[in-house]
Amino acid sequence: MPEKTSIKRLAFVTNQTKSGASEVVDRLRAIAEELGVEIRATSEFPVPDGFLDGMDACCVVGGDGTFLSAALESTKWQVPLIGVNRGTLGFLTTYTSEEIESLFPSVLEGEYQIRSRGLLECSAHENHKDLALNDVIIKSPAVSKIVHLNVFANDEFVTTYVCDGLIFSTPTGSTAYTLSAGGPLVHPDSRVISLTPICPHTLSNRSIIFPENVELRVENAYPDEPLLVAVDGQRNLSTKDTPIEIRLSSQSLPIAQKIDYSHFDVVRQKLKWSGGYAGDPS
């Protein structure tokens, strides 16, 4: 068992537009202060640069979008994120607001496990690089306008996609936009990139899973037409500059989860999979 690491300096990121989020933070903050924990708090989005410098952990109270807004700062300073769900599905914010209050004293004392989540590195042009926890989406900035995109994997031509756009997803992001587009569910510990076309005009175009060492390149077959590169649904870049390059980053995001956290328990619950265990589990 890894040695427990107690939390002495804790940051809070609160989405005040989510019902009950501020009240949850007030109660958690009171618990932390009673235990002598140093507190820092913000409701700004994105999280201010340097906000997590010197923190032991960051408690994010809101939805998955709120969690994503803290991902870059968490990665930069390697400060684990504790996600508390006050949104809808909450695949990233895995603690419920009810359970976190009862578990919070033990969490602050080190009762949690750290899991690292892979990130995508996207280079949209020479001077712009970004990191994505969920996905990088390439599409037209115009509504309902198709794009023609040439995709290469380690300089090998894959195909030309004629579609509404392409979703490049991490395993973490496999339960986000790519799930709605018919992409695969991928275990978050995997080191792969999935590519899923959005409404492809060729029905045989399906998702592709690429290995961790792949260097993906996307070229606009009609370079006079602008493209929109969306990173985690948080940051957009309109560009005519291609190629767009995507790879797995050498960096990772630390997430603090319950000791008994189960990815498949979460998937069954959030996606409302029916049916119990058929057979004797012993």
Please identify every residue annotated as catalytic: 64
Produce one character per residue of 121-134: b if its CB has 16 or more CB atoms within 10 Å, e if not.
Answer: bbbbeeeeebbbbb
